[in-house]
Structure 1
């Protein structure tokens, strides 16, 4: 992670906590049933952010150490997940987690994966995993088409968010993930996911992204005006369907 990527969400934490999507329970079912990972396996969740992905594994019974370099996001996760006895967090990055060698059974990374230095991350994951440990990477990919709302939202981002093309939704495809894992690549799956959002939720979801112009930027007010029009034209019973695919990739590190 670069210094810029670790700080990008500092002033968007509140929106991130309230408006980012969770992950379907099928992810942990996949980990248990398809990857053969037991529910007591120790998990290191890398780039844990505000704790959305860590909570998924805590709810499934795993002890989890959340590795997150951004102080504000890590503090939000600590507050939210404090009641879980199996939870702890550390200030670290994907490339330098601070965790002990061969100390965890499973390494996970979710929405933050596209910010990581891929080669350094692969080495660090191999270092902290136990000899038979596995890696599971997953993220929500917003659907870009399939409804007037989805197509209109994509067009809005391209028009009003100049950083969108360079930083958004830049996750590897299947071939890229097979290349990252190398000979250790084992399996993948895809699950449907969605948020049903009223206008306040839609605006919060937009403003939780690192590329959305903030108040004071000359593009901010026109962007929100266009968002309001899009919502009004495409809502059904006061909601829009913000649809995703949750993509999951699993394997073992090359050693």
Structure 2
């Protein structure tokens, strides 16, 4: 099952998460629509967090149920998306969503997928899918090389992050995702994405990460000093480019 620590590790980072985490490109939804997904398809956002991926699909015309076990994050999503009657949030885990059988046309799992028990969620996602339904798994993959900022930021995380390497290694590669979907795999796509951040936003983006040491930890102040030095050395006009590749995998999970 999902490690309970993973469901709570963002509880004290919700404000930074809401303000500084990246969204996803609309091209992701357009690609799924090209696979036959329509705006009238119901969506379940599993591990919805503060509602970032839910907002993307609401903006594309979908009805969205956000499934999120962390109360603080779920409440943040409800506050942010309260004006849209097509959104509602439920307390549930990826492995036990509480959703009815066959009730969902499109199951999505964004940045949270690497925390799930992938065997159990395959069965759960399949259970809640309608006959026409698909699953889309996606995340923003931060670029590690290519600019002095990106390479310096990666060094900073290795030096000061609490469990950075362990978290980074949880992300799944292309072949593993294809095997997870099995015979029902429909393919993957990748889209460039990014944020332009000033120093305050860069600090908030770092502190939204579960592996960034909080105040009181011996690595916290040295990390922020190193971040300031990196920003000063690499900023252009008062901002830096925080670059990602948004990777999406889609299909209907089916054993070979």
Q: TM-score range by the shorter chain?
A: over 0.9
Establish whether residue 41 from structure 1 lines up as the match of residue 41 from structure 2. yes
Q: Displacement, 1:162?
A: 3.1
**Superposition pairs of residues 190-205 of structure 1, within 5 angstroms:** 190-205=190-205
- For the residues of structure 1 that align with 2:11 and 2:127, how far apart are their CA atoms? 29
In the alignment, which residue of structure 2 is the partner of 1:10? 11
- For the residues of structure 2 that align with 1:162 and 1:37, how far apart are their CA atoms? 40
In the alignment, which residue of structure 1 is the partner of 2:26? 25
In the alignment, which residue of structure 2 is the partner of 1:233? 233
Q: Displacement, 1:77?
A: 0.1
In the alignment, which residue of structure 1 is the partner of 2:183? 183
- For the residues of structure 1 that align with 2:247 and 2:237, how far apart are their CA atoms? 29
Q: Given that residues 180 and 253 in structure 2 are in contact (C-alpha distance below 8 angstroms), is that contact kept between their aligned partners in structure 1? A: no
Q: Displacement, 1:169?
A: 6.2
How well do the aligned residues superpose, as a CA RMSD in angstroms?
0.8
SS at match of 1:183: coil
Q: Given that residues 141 and 169 in structure 1 are in contact (C-alpha distance below 8 angstroms), is that contact kept between their aligned partners in structure 2? A: no
- For the residues of structure 2 that align with 1:131 and 1:103, how far apart are their CA atoms? 9
Q: Given that residues 44 and 107 in structure 1 are in contact (C-alpha distance below 8 angstroms), is that contact kept between their aligned partners in structure 2? A: yes
TM-score normalised by the chain length of structure 1: 0.98
List, as ranges, runs of 4+ consecutive aligned residues in structure 1 with deviation greater than 4 Å.
none
**Superposition pairs of residues 80-229 of structure 1, within 5 angstroms:** 80-168=80-168, 170-229=170-229
After superposition, what is the alpha-carbon deviation per residue over 1:27-85, rounded to whole angstroms, capped at 9, x for unaligned?
A: 1111112x101101000010000000000000000000000000000000000001111
In the alignment, which residue of structure 2 is the partner of 1:67? 67
Structure 2, gaps ≥5 residues long: none
Pair 107,211 (structure 1): closer, same or farther in 2 beyond 3 Å:
same
Structure 1, gaps ≥5 residues long: none
In the alignment, which residue of structure 2 is the partner of 1:244? 244
SS at match of 2:13: helix
- For the residues of structure 2 that align with 1:92 and 1:168, how far apart are their CA atoms? 25
TM-score normalised by the chain length of structure 2: 0.98
After superposition, what is the alpha-carbon deviation per residue over 1:77-136, rounded to whole angstroms, capped at 9, x for unaligned?
A: 000001111101100011000000000101000000000000000000000001221001
Q: Given that residues 58 and 86 in structure 1 are in contact (C-alpha distance below 8 angstroms), is that contact kept between their aligned partners in structure 2? A: yes
